[in-house]
Amino acid sequence: MTATEPDRVARIHARRVARLREQLLDEDVPLPLDAPQAQVLLEELDYASHPPVHEDRAPRYGSLVSFGARPHWSDLSVPTRLESAGTDLALLRKLADGRASFVVRTADGTAGLVCFDQSLEYEASAVRLRRETGAFVVQRTRDGLVRACGPDGVITWDSVQWSFKPLAEHHAAPIRRLAPQVDPDVLEGLLELSVHWLGAGRVGATLVLALAGDPRALPHLELASAVSVAPLHVTRREHFPALLSVLGQMDRAALVAADGGISTLGAGLQWSERSSVLVAPTNGTRHTSARRFSFDEPSSLVIVVSEDGPTTVYSDGATTTVVRTDACRVGDIATVGTPAIPDPAGETDVVCAVCRKVLLVDAVHFDGWAGGPDEQRCPVCDSVVVIDAYRAAIRGVRKAL
Amino acid sequence: MACTHLHDLPEVVPDSRRCEACIEIGAEWAQLRMCLLCGRVGCCDASPNRHAAKHAADCGHALVRSVEPGDSWRWCYVDEEYV
């Protein structure tokens, strides 16, 4: 190696990181690229994308990038922590397999290594690690997928495109707005299980959450072939592997009680003739039955996880939310980072004249607006709903308390 | 620093419930903003053509509000802050 070789390598590396930044900006990837500490995150994404190849093999890799002074170590059970100021970063990186060992990089330039006694390879683990450390979790998986889990969601590079999936927790608020009686911990656990365990693992499933009482008492259930299990709980993460396993091997629905307990699997969903007439078929049998069942069972929420990943929540015959991975250039990510300043004055209820469901509407009014009322489609029966406002959006069906 | 453009705002009414500039060129938009000085409605900065920001730059009208249902926030293009 000549005396100038390190400089040349450093220049090439710097140019590659700069190109990565431009690419992320061009593709609207929701990362804080203008933050002062963004350079460290870019360096880690670049390394995960271009790890040194050894004997024709690109290794796994993982790092935690903290934008604060230190990750929240006190909340973690970390058997091994190595402070390694002054240690060669290239060597540290070779120790980090992205499953149980991670380089730690902080905004002040220090680096270290943490080693866990369990694998944190999967998306669900990365989401929890991010939550507990407050750090970005950057990983290169066995399949060569580059993944960064941050406060907005999970960003992935599959060698073709950047994609984004929002964190499940961000979808709890709009659901609770429609169904305020749902227990927040139960809803958060259900969404985490559905989005980051079942969906990420490509396990199709249907979960029926009863908002009160015994879920087996819901009239439109068919329980002839249902089975009982020892109670598992959606608020206990240690139960998630068992739920992932059993739901991956059974059809039909799992019943979730209002307190989050699951003790019945294999329940069939039925619906009325009126529901068949008013609620159109949706994305195949599993979704159609879930949506029509939810129309007839207003004291429930029905969550459907598709085998190809998306999670859909149905309530009162309407689609309440969909959590899915979108390519960044075409995904609906324009609202990431938009401040959510509620405007209570604009909230109103409108009853659909056809299906009679009570619709929660956000509306904007202007005195003097002469353009006539707004027209929207009912999210349940698709009939036209006329709303006396400049502009209006139907958020879903409001559940009665 | 507090925005200095808030004084003497007139009562305005939106001139449309669409981005007419996008309609003219066959473009699509993500969200709509309304100029608080003249009521001109244009598309947001997440839209391909950013007509609200162009209107602000062309006319010197600094303030917009979101006219998305449920939103009531206002933004100053000059001071680059919510007001």
Asked whether residue A38 is domain-assigned, the answer is yes
Asked whether residue A338 is domain-assigned, the answer is no
Say which amino acid occupies A318.
A
Contact between A327 and A30 under an 8 Å Cβ cutoff? The reply is no
- Is the domain of A308 the same as that of A259? yes
State the first-to-last Cα distance of chain A, in angstroms, to the nearest integer: 74
- Average of pLDDT values for B66-76? 91
Domains of chain B with CATH codes: 20-82 (3.30.40.10)
Decide if B13 and A361 are in contact by the 8 Å CB cutoff. no
Mutate to test the interface with A, among B15, B16, B17 (most CBs of A within 10 A): B17
CATH of the domain at A68: 3.40.1700
pLDDT of residue A70: 57
- Is the domain of A194 the same as that of A144? no
Say which amino acid occupies A241.
P
Decide if A367 and B13 are in contact by the 8 Å CB cutoff. yes
- Angstrom distance (rounded) from CA A366 to CA B61: 20
Asked whether residue A333 is domain-assigned, the answer is no
User: pLDDT of A251-282, one tens digit each?
Assistant: 999 999 999 999 999 999 999 999 999 999 99
Asked whether residue A245 is domain-assigned, the answer is yes
Phi then psi for A211, rounded to 5 degrees?
Answer: -80, -10
ipTM entry: 0.91
- Is the domain of A181 the same as that of A242? yes
Q: Provide the CA A85 distance to its chain's centre, in angstroms.
A: 35
- Is the domain of A64 the same as that of A125? yes
pLDDT of residue A334: 42
Closest C-alpha to A360, from A319, A311, A393: A393
Number of domains into which chain A is organized: 3
- Angstrom distance (rounded) from CA A322 to CA A312: 4
| Coil, helix or strand at residue A101 | strand
pLDDT of residue A331: 46
The encoded tokens of residue A248 equal 């991956």
Residue among A335, A347, A368 minimizing CB distance to B13 = A368
Task: Give burial (CB, 10 Å; 0-12/13-18/19+) of B7.
Answer: exposed
Domain that holds residue A97: 5-165
- Angstrom distance (rounded) from CA A219 to CA A297: 8
Minimal-distance CA residue of chain A relative to B15: A369
The answer on pLDDT for A62 being more than 80 is: yes
pLDDT of residue A333: 40
Residue among B16, B30, B69 minimizing CB distance to A364 = B69
User: pLDDT of A202-249, one tens digit each?
Assistant: 999 999 999 999 999 999 999 999 999 988 999 999 999 999 999 999
| Coil, helix or strand at residue A236 | coil
Nearest Cα of chain A lies from the Cα of B48 at a distance, in angstroms, of: 11
Nearest Cα of chain A lies from the Cα of B70 at a distance, in angstroms, of: 5
Asked whether residue A378 is domain-assigned, the answer is yes
Asked whether residue A332 is domain-assigned, the answer is no
pLDDT of residue A343: 66
Domain final position from A141, A165, A189? A165
Domain final position from A274, A294, A327? A327
Establish if A363 touches chain B: CB-CB under 8 angstroms.
Answer: yes
Numbered residues of chain B with Cβ closer than 8 Å to any chain A Cβ: 11, 13-14, 16-17, 30-32, 44, 46-47, 67-73, 82
Decide if A391 and B82 are in contact by the 8 Å CB cutoff. no
In sequence order, the 6+-apart residues with CB closer than 8 A to the CB of B64 are B33, B34, B35, B36, B52, B56, B74, B75, B77
- Is the domain of A11 the same as that of A160? yes
- Is the domain of A224 the same as that of A208? yes
- Is the domain of A117 the same as that of A265? no
The answer on pLDDT for B56 being more than 60 is: yes
The answer on pLDDT for B36 being more than 80 is: yes
Establish if A366 touches chain B: CB-CB under 8 angstroms.
Answer: yes
Asked whether residue A271 is domain-assigned, the answer is yes
- Is the domain of A353 the same as that of A320? no
> Which helix (H) or strand (E) element contains residue A142?
none
- Is the domain of A302 the same as that of A188? yes
- Is the domain of A176 the same as that of A120? no
Helices (H) and strands (E) in chain A, counts: 9, 22
Contact between A165 and A325 under an 8 Å Cβ cutoff? The reply is yes
The encoded tokens of residue A253 equal 């629905």
- Is the domain of A248 the same as that of A352? no
CATH of the domain at A185: 3.40.1700.10
Nearest Cα of chain A lies from the Cα of B58 at a distance, in angstroms, of: 24
Interstrand relation of A358-364 and A391-397 (parallel, antiparallel or unpaired): antiparallel
Establish if A343 touches chain B: CB-CB under 8 angstroms.
Answer: yes
Contact between A326 and A332 under an 8 Å Cβ cutoff? The reply is yes
The encoded tokens of residue A93 equal 């990186």
> Which helix (H) or strand (E) element contains residue B58?
helix B51-59
- Angstrom distance (rounded) from CA A383 to CA A380: 8
Minimal-distance CA residue of chain A relative to B73: A341
- Is the domain of A76 the same as that of A199? no
The encoded tokens of residue A43 equal 């360096």
State the first-to-last Cα distance of chain B, in angstroms, to the nearest integer: 11
Domain final position from A118, A146, A165? A165
